[in-house]
Chain A
């Protein structure tokens, strides 16, 4: 099943002659009229289909924002659900235009995988979930435990590092998809389920009795999650990067989905630059002057998207924490639009 998509992707790389060059991705997407966006196979809060089959989530909002900026229509997206194992191959081979799928930014992914991370949508870290019945209060009490993990993630390596540096033994059972991993944990095959903390909260909701399970306090790694594009097309890299920055800047300037039309008429210089009433910043990206207006109309600013999908306004109810803006005690910070 997995090998089929992988094989197809490989064949694409080899035969179709996909050669990204400056400006080509934007042209391809606009000619096609649809943005092909790689997402998860269903991670509530980040990318998951709702009960009507519409994809929603923080990562999905990035796709919608890009589609709004590039195609002027946040619904013209083909969502491609990918497992952790297949996601980068799909991007390398050109099967998707952008990967927005809770993927950790690391050096090797930025270099030898031939990819470019465009920013951070969510500052995360890896944690552990256990059954409350085990009466474990700290990850340091997990010696000799069996741990379920999804293969092809940074979690797999962090796990090895953490247990090794704390001189603990463990048994790792690695599964191809998040669902298989969770099922094995729920059936009792493993004592511990490990992944990024945000994902732990999301996956916990899928369990039959979420309250029987607890997330341990330790966060053992840095997991900056963000959208990814492939090497070779700097214009596309800029567009994806600045779409996210526009959402973050909008929050900083208090531009929301509701007041965007009003704010667009503002005389404040930074708002004028942002909404294109002054200068041609959007055109420099290869888009139109009102690119930010379209983005904010489609998904709102970063804070709105966060609250709606993973924060206070969602079932996950994760606190903003590190993901607050830099001037509110967090580390979310976007370069200025000028």
Chain B
């Protein structure tokens, strides 16, 4: 079982020569399961387009998609997810609930005219919607649990756990807004999700000086990401949700800064194609 990153850019896709090393596709992570019949996917940013082509080639018939939230950079790839256009495929979509509008209808806003020429009625695949947070999802020895996290609008984070390892996925998260320092983990946003995790994929969109003008936008500085890992006792930090204005060289400076702050959490930049063994 392993994770594979198909997109780790934040906010908006950023193709071009300045982003070829770490990639320009927005958030999408595949969890490669022991069950070859099922594909588990986290978020549907533009990275999901290439993943979809691979799932078609593999002949995968059941796809379980967990969405952290419905901001476009986590959803816009869904419209170009090839398995949706196969009537033999079932796509189970899990996403944060709202008291007002169903998950299906909220996704439909981005998946219908005038933003897209088609809507769900014309999608041949079978679609099933589930609200989050809900009961943990299990497959083989893997358990996926979710909880609400600090980000504008209903947003969840995920914890993937096997008998031996745990990984937390928190791509859009601003825990500093409600406090990290002088807090026990139960009083930190998503503290239990990331507590003692071997690896945390965490929002580290900004340098500290950039964060000052963007406080409350729902994203973390590199210093907050490092501090968060320290506070919840996580072992390794994967810097995720790269700022679209940051080139590969900028990102490497960001990683240097993270290592300067705390090398012991082994801060590492997420990049497209990266795999993480569970």
A, B assembled together:
no
Q: Which residues of B contact A (CB under 8 A)?
A: none
Q: Which residues of A contact B (CB under 8 A)?
A: none
